[in-house]
Amino acid sequence: MLDKKLIEDHPYISYTKPILSDEEMLERSISFYEAMDSRRSVREFSNRAVPREVIENLLKTASTAPSGAHKQPWTFCVVENPEIKKQIRIAAEEEEQQSYESRMSSDWLEDLKPLGTDWRKPFLETAPYLIIVFRRIYEFATDGKKKNNYYVQESVGIAAGFLLAAIHNAGLVSLTHTPSPMNFLTKTLNRPENEKPFLLIPVGYPAEDCWVPDIQRKGLEDICVFY
């Protein structure tokens, strides 16, 4: 039972979850794993439209993520407008061209070879939506003073993970894209100084002829240690 004073001062609700049988738990854990294991990052998008309401639901799901002191330090900018998508593509390609031609190390370029990426980013115009995730470093209190948020990187990372899972669950595909540097997005989208771009996620259907690298995922023995 919680401290009486705490409950008096702050609203609390009782929280329960039904206890599942081991069998059902096992079944659910496998089917969710299999569903998530079929998610792939996609770079070839169809321009087929996606209902706006679906995107709204995906964003509501992302915003169910836990965050430091429940500050929910994120803003999701959704770009549908072809003119803005074009501006983003041009600015991203300018940065990416410099990165590929002079900023990225030879090791990095070598590691990217299997992905077949280069500075060209046509998906930034083809995908019906670009979701740009911003992390909110601080908020402005009512007196105008800056109030820092907590564990912003972790919180926004988790929210982005929820978003990717929700996109996949809705039968859509995404790419976790990080044009680098991505400061141009602050200007293009006219964002306030307390927000910093975190990820750019094109969302839509895969192109009819869509290919992804045949990657393998690490096995349990390589990713975890039981004590």
Q: For strand 74-79 and strand 129-136, is the pairing parallel, antiparallel, or unpaired?
A: antiparallel
Q: In the bound complex, which residue of the shown chain has the CB atom lying closest to ligand IYR?
A: 117
- Secondary structure of residue 45 in the 3-state scheme: strand
Q: Are 18 and 180 in contact (CB under 8 A)?
A: no
CB of 226 to ligand IYR, least distance (A): 30
Alpha carbon distance 136, 155 (integer Å): 10
Q: Per DSSP, which regions of 9-166 are E strands?
A: 74-79, 129-136, 138-140, 146-148
- Secondary structure of residue 64 in the 3-state scheme: coil
Nearer to ligand IYR, 135 or 177 (CB): 177
The residues that touch ligand IYR, with contacts defined as CB under 6 A, are 96, 112, 115, 117, 177-180
CB of 101 to ligand IYR, least distance (A): 12
Q: Are 129 and 163 in contact (CB under 8 A)?
A: no
Nearer to ligand IYR, 100 or 151 (CB): 100
CB of 85 to ligand IYR, least distance (A): 16
Nearer to ligand IYR, 49 or 112 (CB): 112
Nearer to ligand IYR, 45 or 67 (CB): 45
CB of 111 to ligand IYR, least distance (A): 7
CB of 125 to ligand IYR, least distance (A): 15
Nearer to ligand IYR, 35 or 115 (CB): 115
Alpha carbon distance 115, 215 (integer Å): 10
| Residue 131 β-bridge partners | 78, 201
